[in-house]
Structure 1
Amino acid sequence: MNNIDLRQAIINRVQSNTADQLKEVIESSIDHDERALPGLGVLFEMIWKQSNPSSQGQMVQALHQHLSSAGNNTAANPSPS
């Protein structure tokens, strides 16, 4: 049996999807079962690697802004550990 890493397994699963199907995969994974989070991470990694420094900066800024505002709500939304 071939050993396949998680990244490659995720890529193989969505590789032939249409743009609409990829959007559905993303939207159905957000705010749902946490088992989908590694898949979203792989997809984000692919986007990051193909983005220019300006786009990467915009993503970091958007994430930073979200985390800064979410930091005020940490007591209301504890980690599910």
Structure 2
Amino acid sequence: MNLNLRNAIVHNVSGNSQAELEDTIVDAIQNGEEKMLPGLGVLFEIIWQNSSEEEKKEMLGTLESGLKH
């Protein structure tokens, strides 16, 4: 991914409240447009980098379960 795109995405959501971040995520998922995927990827990258090992394992378990359905 282009670093400029990553920086632009981070800049666009920096300072947002939890409610605003949730709205951004829900809107991107409900919208279903592939152009939103890079933004979700950047947000997930931030979550991953700021999660404990236990939180990462929980996310991986959730992802694995979700992919089985």
**Which one has a larger percent helix, Structure 1 or Structure 2?**
2
RMSD: 1.2
Query: How far did 1:55 drift?
Result: 0.5
Report the residue type matching 2:59 in the other structure.
M
Gaps of 5+ in 1: 70-81
- State the structure with bigger RCO (CA 8 A, min sep 6), 1 or 2: 2
| 1:65 alignment counterpart | 65
Hey, what does 1:18 align to over in structure 2? 17
Identity of aligned pairs, percent? 38
Distance 1:34 1:25 in 2: 15
- Higher Cα radius of gyration: 1
TM-score of the two chains, using structure 2 as the length reference:
0.87
TM-score by length of 1: 0.75
Which segments of structure 1 move beyond 4 Å, counting only runs of 4 or more? Answer: none
Q: Deviations over 1:12-61 (max 9, x none)?
A: 01112222111110010003222111101100000000101110000001
Whether 1:27 and 2:26 are equivalent positions in the alignment is: yes
